[in-house]
């Protein structure tokens, strides 16, 4: 592909969104940014990927952490910001990819090659 394509796939729990993202990435020969994103970030910054993974998408305990002037000391918030910046950097470099979640449809909304998909889960009766 000569033009940048970014597929941002949001999903509901149990919708099969991860599997759909894998199929899309394979079909269009694009890298899938998912759990492996934290490994890349850890390698770039010399951090332990297992420690980052522990706090990924972890709910914030409001008694332990606080936000002041838009800055948070909660590990989950810091890791989310690292992931947002990683996505921005990849997009700014002109890379094409598929990403699951991570608010990518909002973070990358200014890129014309962005395709945003949301997968709903339905219970079969």
Q: How far is CA 18 from CA 1, 34, 41, 79, 101, in A?
A: 23, 9, 20, 20, 9
CA atoms within 13 A on the CB side of 86: 23
> If you average pLDDT over residues 48-54, what whole number do you get?
72
Query: How many residues appear in the chain?
Result: 125
Q: Which pLDDT does position 13 carry in this prediction?
A: 83
pLDDT of 1 higher than 90: no
> If you average pLDDT over residues 41-46, what whole number do you get?
84
> If you average pLDDT over residues 88-111, what whole number do you get?
94
Q: What is the mean pLDDT of the chain?
A: 82
Query: Higher confidence at residue 100 or residue 76?
Result: 100
Q: 111 falls in which pLDDT band (50, 70, 90)?
A: very high
Residue 33: enclosing H or E segment and its boundaries?
strand 32-33
pTM to 2 decimals?
A: 0.78
């Amino acid at each position: 592909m000569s033009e940048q394509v970014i597929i941002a796939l949001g999903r509901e729990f149990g919708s099969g969104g991860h599997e759909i993202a894998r199929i899309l990435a394979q079909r269009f020969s694009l890298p899938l940014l998912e759990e492996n994103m934290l490994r890349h970030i850890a390698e770039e910054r010399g951090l332990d990927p297992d420690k980052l993974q522990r706090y990924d998408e972890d709910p914030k305990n409001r008694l332990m952490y606080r936000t002041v002037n838009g800055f948070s000391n909660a590990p989950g918030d810091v890791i989310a910001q690292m992931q947002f910046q990683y996505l921005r950097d990849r997009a700014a470099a002109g890379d094409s990819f598929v990403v699951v979640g991570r608010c990518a449809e909002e973070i990358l909304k200014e890129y014309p090659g962005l395709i945003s998909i949301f997968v709903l889960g339905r219970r079969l009766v």
